[in-house]
Structure 1
Amino acid sequence: MVSSAFQISALLLAFLGLILLLVASVSNCWKFSSPSTTLITASWIYEGLWMNCVATSLGSVQCKKFFSLLSLETYIQACRALMITSLILGMCGTLLTLLGLKCTQLGSNSENAKSKIAMLGGMVFILAGLSSMVAISWYAERITAQFFDSFYGGTKYELGYALYLGWAGSLLSILGGIFLTCSACKEKHRDYKYAATRQGKDARIYIKQSETVTSAKDYV
């Protein structure tokens, strides 16, 4: 019962990380124009992986999608691919973990098979978290490099809230995957220990039976 509750808690932790990664991926605030470098303080520029937006102090917001993939910088294309990969891996990890939970009747009923499936789901969650962590850290590194570059003549940006959501989601996904993997390894070790104990007990019973038969023959 304790193991099942631990697995469910780890799954919820990793799934929460997946939700945060989804919100970060579709957000338009991966970076925003720095007030210290903007001449017109009545307007702000927000930019994400899919579009950029201009907001004014009057409350109007205009957004424009990135229609041409080839015109984007290489790191934005790579971040897109990594975030999509992370989301796909997160969904696969959720499905595998649901099949590997001890408290579910989905898939195989073998405890050993369920432990292997749950371990695989945990590893997939870890890969999803690492993939998104690389994308978000790479994007943040480019923002900070341009901000502190005195020779950069373009608009300087600061880190948007979507990056912090992405970092939090990546950490939750990695932690949930680690907990799932550890739970499956512990369960597998317990099964091996039980099997070894049962084998030793059966061997002792067999030896006692053999000694009893031998004693009976000697008596005869």
Structure 2
Amino acid sequence: MVLAIRINTQLGGILLSLAGWILSCVTTYVPLWKNLNLDLNELENWTMGLWQACVVQEEGGMQCKDFDSFLALSSELRISRILMCFSNGSGMLGLLISCLGLDCVNIGRESQELKNRLLLLGGVMLWTSGLTALIPVSWVAYDTVQEFWNESIPDIVPRWEFGEALFMGWFGGFFLLLGSLLFFARAFETGSSVYTASTLTTGPGAQNYHPPRRNQNLYFVTTFTI
């Protein structure tokens, strides 16, 4: 029972982390961080991401243009690029390391301490990935709010608003953090009893292990009475 709960918790952590990592990768590359709706021209909308800006027209579809120079970008976009790429890389490493630490994986099964260390290391990488995904998304959202309510800008000037990628980034970051917390919970618990039970049923001595029969005592009592 304890082993089943432990494995299910680990699988839940893997699924949450995988979903968070996918959302984080999508957030990095889609040009949907900011939206700009023009009241004077309702037939076209502008969107912007970390790598390009796009204009969406009802008649001409979507046309995108990559940013020419990395140094020409604002500081928030430059740092957001670096942090999101780091988040994607550390998330991938965290998933690979955490998979090796799962109890349902045969690699390193002889040492429960090694499994716990792999889970702990993978959890640290996933925690770092989630944190570095939340920072740029929240930073861009904060600057967008500040510019939207800036009283020095005339009301007639269009303002940028939240894009769909910001919400994907928030969900992805929280999923990564939650998955890493599940790994931390299983890595720090004492797994001696779990490992002993799994060794008896799956280890080299499993063929020599025979659990006691349920009605063995009842059989002896019946024989003695007769």
What's the TM-score bracket when you normalise by the shorter of the two chains? 0.7 to 0.9
Q: 1:169 to 1:194 in 2, by over 3 A?
A: closer
Question: Is the Cα contact below 8 Å between 1:98 and 1:106 reproduced in 2?
Answer: no
- TM alignment of 1:60-99, pairs within 5 A: 60-99=61-100
Corresponding residue number in structure 2 for 1:40: 41
Corresponding residue number in structure 2 for 1:127: 128
Corresponding residue number in structure 2 for 1:180: 183
Question: Aligned with 2:92: secondary structure?
Answer: helix
Corresponding residue number in structure 1 for 2:170: 167
Tell me, in whole angstroms, the C-alpha distance in 1 between the residues paired with 2:24 and 2:175.
10
Question: Is the Cα contact below 8 Å between 1:123 and 1:178 reproduced in 2?
Answer: no
Letter in 2 for 1:23: V
Letter in 1 for 2:114: A
Letter in 1 for 2:8: A
Q: Identify the match of residue 14 of structure 1 among 1, 17, 25.
A: 17
Tell me, in whole angstroms, the C-alpha distance in 1 between the residues paired with 2:21 and 2:194.
35
Question: Is the Cα contact below 8 Å between 2:112 and 2:195 reproduced in 1?
Answer: no
Corresponding residue number in structure 1 for 2:143: 142
> CA deviation digits over 1:143-167, x for unaligned, max 9?
1111111223664110001100000
Q: 1 or 2, which has the higher helix percentage? A: 1
Question: Aligned with 2:69: secondary structure?
Answer: coil
Structure 1 unmatched runs, 5+: 196-220
Question: Aligned with 2:89: secondary structure?
Answer: helix
CA drift at 1:120:
1.2
Question: Is the Cα contact below 8 Å between 2:103 and 2:109 reproduced in 1?
Answer: no
Tell me, in whole angstroms, the C-alpha distance in 2 between the residues paired with 1:94 and 1:190.
21
CA drift at 1:40:
1.6
CA RMSD of superposed structures (Å): 2.0
Question: Is the Cα contact below 8 Å between 2:18 and 2:95 reproduced in 1?
Answer: yes
Matched, 1:49 2:47: no
Letter in 1 for 2:164: Y
**Sequence identity, in percent?**
30
- TM-score, normalised to structure 1, is 0.81
